[in-house]
Structure 1
Amino acid sequence: MATIYDVARRAEVSPATVSRVANGHANVDPALAERVRDAMRELHYRPNAVARNLRRSRTTLWAVIISDIGNPFFTSLVRGVEDVAQRAGYSVVLCNSDEDPTKEGQYVDAALAEQMAGVIISPAGMANHLNRLVDARVPVVAIDRQQSGAHVDTVLVDNEQGAYLATTHLIESGYQRIACVSGPPGVFTATRRLRGYRRALEEHGRPYEEELVRHGDFREEGGYRAMASLLGPRPRPDALFAANNLMTVGAVECLVDSRIAVPDEMGVVGFDDVPWAHLVRPSLTTVAQPTYELGCEAAGLLTKRIADPERPPTTVTLETKLQIRDSSLRTRQA
């Protein structure tokens, strides 16, 4: 079995450098670190996890706590986290909170009990869970949502601007009564996207009408129910901005069941791209998020936090992009 000294000889570095790479320290020249990792792979070297954890008082595991494992948004995000984690010498444990603060708290308990090296979390709305990690000096990064009352590294997208672009596009496409299916009240992403929708209406001289807004649960069923309730009152809306991908799917399903033609009778724009958005007919206009990059940024911030626990918290905001397809381009006046 290969030892740390065998790896050092193969990589032509000191054993101390091998140790720093194996323990995930960031203060190693990237070229040297890659050489060490190559030597580890070639020699099938596996660090002694038990001894290392005794020295460090922590494992080499990261907990990634997300709100919905069934949402494709998180699939790509977690891949970005894992790719960076692996290069830094860490493994990822995936936890699904189901937007349930109690379940989220149980995973935070587990991260503390198992002495996880760090936590990346999409908060379900409880600042105290983040603060418990901070108080225990566990490196933590919030992703997708900014949590009031918690001073931690955070990675976001510009939710308000993405919603603003989506709603503005529907206005410029000639739609008059634009509805919004927002997310749960009080959830950071839902609040910011609703704000962008409202800003676009007001800047284009359109009234903000409460009867055109519904709050869903970020799930497909919630999108279906919200869309169905919007079809009842008259005059009904002629366009929809849905605040996440799964609710968009539910809303479109409702329109199909109701025999309402998209885009001529109802224009549709969703927030979050989906892999098949360009394959359905009509193809679906979406606000695309850089999901893989979100994960990479979060993992990068976590490695920096592990290397320098005292550094001030950083917030990174990434841009969204409107992917215009057929579902929002009216071909005739309804």
Structure 2
Amino acid sequence: MATIHDVARHAGVSAATVSRVLNGRETVDPALAVRVQSAVSALGYRRNSVARNLRRRQTTLWAVLISDIENPFFTSLVRGVEDVGRSEGYSVVLCNTDEDTTKESEYIAACLADKMAGVIISPTSDTSDVSPLVEAGTAVVAIDRELSQVTLDTVLVDNEGGAEQATRHLAERGYRRIACITGPRRTSTAIRRLRGYQRAIKATGLTADKSLIRHADFREAGGYAAMAALLDEDVRPDAVFAANNLMTVGALECLVDRGLTVPDDVGVVGFDDIPWARLARPSLTTVGQPTYEMGKSAAQLLSGRIATPGRPATRVTLQTELHIRESTNRPPA
């Protein structure tokens, strides 16, 4: 493999001149620059990015820390980050924290050790500790979930509004015992979606019943277990609002195993659109999130934070959209 010294000998210049040309310095004589570029092409020289980054304060890498790589919600979100990152000259590294605070801390340490230019994080908890990144001057943006102990650039959706709209829709369709399967108490999304559900129950005049609320883990198995517990109550629910896509899948599996039909026995609304939501039978009513736009907005904030570290933190809240399909298709009361 050709080295910078090979290029210098081939072009008849010094290694320092080659370095200045490759780094875009305008102080090099144009004729020499042409000779260097010709030598680079002739020898097939490729710059050692690792060594170059070691000489710099940071790399041209962004890290995206997501809480569950198996959740399709993150697919489009990460694509939005990557598209903006590449246009800005950054490559994106994906890290899966698996809803585990220990793994999250390890990845944060790795981001510092590897001199990441910026980090976008979907925190495992509202109290996730990103202070090592902030104190080191690394640009950080929170996405999907809020952090309570530090003020950062943050990209969210209107979780309360989306949950309220979903629950109101069930009430308008004639369902009266509407259950809610929400996520862990430590996450802002679970808290806010539960608040939206409760607000709709109150606004529609339905009876608030704590036995209709279950906290799960944002995973499929958690949704299944929560739905099973709801069905085992003395009086079962006639509808359920599940606060993320994987728990919706688990709840549907449980209803099938119990021999209950959707929407006649139990109406179902999920939060997050699912790729096959329109293809399932019955098709699934969902609260859609603009996931690509979330990733794009977070990446734009990160780029802006890198360029202007001292500017005030920005909070972006995007709107959700209720997609009404067959899983709530009970005629209105």
> TM-score if structure 2 supplies the norm length?
0.85
Is the aligned partner of 1:129 residue 2:129?
A: yes
Q: Alpha-carbon deviation of 1:45?
A: 10
**Counterpart of 2:88 in structure 1: which amino acid?**
A
> 2: CA distance between counterparts of 1:4 and 1:168?
64
Aligned match of 1:34 = none
The list of structure 1 runs, each at least 4 consecutive aligned residues, that deviate by more than 2 angstroms after superposition, is: 1-8, 44-56, 126-129
Distance 1:332 1:160, change over 3 A: closer
In the TM superposition, 1:1-334 aligns within 5 A as: 49-50=49-50, 52-54=52-54, 56-125=56-125, 127=127, 129-331=129-331
Q: Alpha-carbon deviation of 1:234?
A: 2.5
> 2: CA distance between counterparts of 1:47 and 1:87?
20
Q: Alpha-carbon deviation of 1:51?
A: 6.2
Given that residues 3 and 45 in structure 1 are in contact (C-alpha distance below 8 angstroms), is that contact kept between their aligned partners in structure 2? no
Distance 1:92 1:330, change over 3 A: same
> 2: CA distance between counterparts of 1:119 and 1:7?
25
The alignment partner of 1:154 has SS state of strand
Residues 248-286 of structure 1 deviation map (CA, whole Å, 9 limit, x = unaligned)? 000001101111110011000000001100000000000
Q: Alpha-carbon deviation of 1:55?
A: 5.2
- Coordinate RMSD, CA, aligned: 2.2
Q: Alpha-carbon deviation of 1:206?
A: 1.6
> 1: CA distance between counterparts of 2:233 and 2:122?
36
> 2: CA distance between counterparts of 1:230 and 1:6?
65
Q: Alpha-carbon deviation of 1:6?
A: 8.9
The alignment partner of 1:80 has SS state of helix
**Counterpart of 1:161 in structure 2: which amino acid?**
G
Distance 1:126 1:114, change over 3 A: farther
**Counterpart of 2:131 in structure 1: which amino acid?**
N
Q: Which segment is superposed worse, 52-61 or 156-165? A: 52-61
Residues 8-36 of structure 1 deviation map (CA, whole Å, 9 limit, x = unaligned)? 8xxxxx959xxxxxxxxxxxxxxxxxxxx
Q: Which segment is superposed worse, 100-109 or 322-331? A: 322-331
> 2: CA distance between counterparts of 1:94 and 1:275?
21
Given that residues 214 and 226 in structure 2 are in contact (C-alpha distance below 8 angstroms), is that contact kept between their aligned partners in structure 1? yes
Distance 1:151 1:45, change over 3 A: farther
Q: Which segment is superposed worse, 272-281 or 55-64? A: 55-64
> 1: CA distance between counterparts of 2:45 and 2:279?
45
Distance 1:248 1:226, change over 3 A: same
Given that residues 126 and 186 in structure 2 are in contact (C-alpha distance below 8 angstroms), is that contact kept between their aligned partners in structure 1? no
Q: Alpha-carbon deviation of 1:205?
A: 1.4
**Counterpart of 2:172 in structure 1: which amino acid?**
E
Size of the alignment, in residue pairs? 301
**Counterpart of 2:299 in structure 1: which amino acid?**
A
Given that residues 60 and 116 in structure 1 are in contact (C-alpha distance below 8 angstroms), is that contact kept between their aligned partners in structure 2? yes
Given that residues 112 and 133 in structure 2 are in contact (C-alpha distance below 8 angstroms), is that contact kept between their aligned partners in structure 1? yes
Given that residues 119 and 138 in structure 1 are in contact (C-alpha distance below 8 angstroms), is that contact kept between their aligned partners in structure 2? yes
> 2: CA distance between counterparts of 1:215 and 1:315?
27
Distance 1:191 1:46, change over 3 A: farther
Residues 214-255 of structure 1 deviation map (CA, whole Å, 9 limit, x = unaligned)? 111100000001001111112211000000000000000110
Distance 1:138 1:6, change over 3 A: closer
> 2: CA distance between counterparts of 1:265 and 1:52?
63
> 2: CA distance between counterparts of 1:326 and 1:126?
35
> 2: CA distance between counterparts of 1:135 and 1:156?
24
Aligned match of 1:40 = none
Unmatched segments (≥5 aa) in structure 2: 1-6, 8-17, 28-43
> 1: CA distance between counterparts of 2:182 and 2:126?
20
Aligned match of 2:11 = none
**Counterpart of 1:280 in structure 2: which amino acid?**
A
Distance 1:126 1:243, change over 3 A: closer
> TM-score if structure 1 supplies the norm length?
0.85
**Counterpart of 2:259 in structure 1: which amino acid?**
R
> 1: CA distance between counterparts of 2:176 and 2:53?
61
> 1: CA distance between counterparts of 2:159 and 2:308?
29
Unmatched segments (≥5 aa) in structure 1: 9-13, 17-43
Given that residues 173 and 331 in structure 2 are in contact (C-alpha distance below 8 angstroms), is that contact kept between their aligned partners in structure 1? no
**Counterpart of 1:169 in structure 2: which amino acid?**
H
Given that residues 178 and 241 in structure 1 are in contact (C-alpha distance below 8 angstroms), is that contact kept between their aligned partners in structure 2? yes
Q: Alpha-carbon deviation of 1:129?
A: 2.3
**Counterpart of 2:312 in structure 1: which amino acid?**
P
> 2: CA distance between counterparts of 1:128 and 1:179?
29
Q: Which segment is superposed worse, 128-137 or 290-299? A: 128-137
Distance 1:306 1:206, change over 3 A: same
Q: Report which of the two structures shows the higher radius of gyration computed on alpha carbons.
A: 2
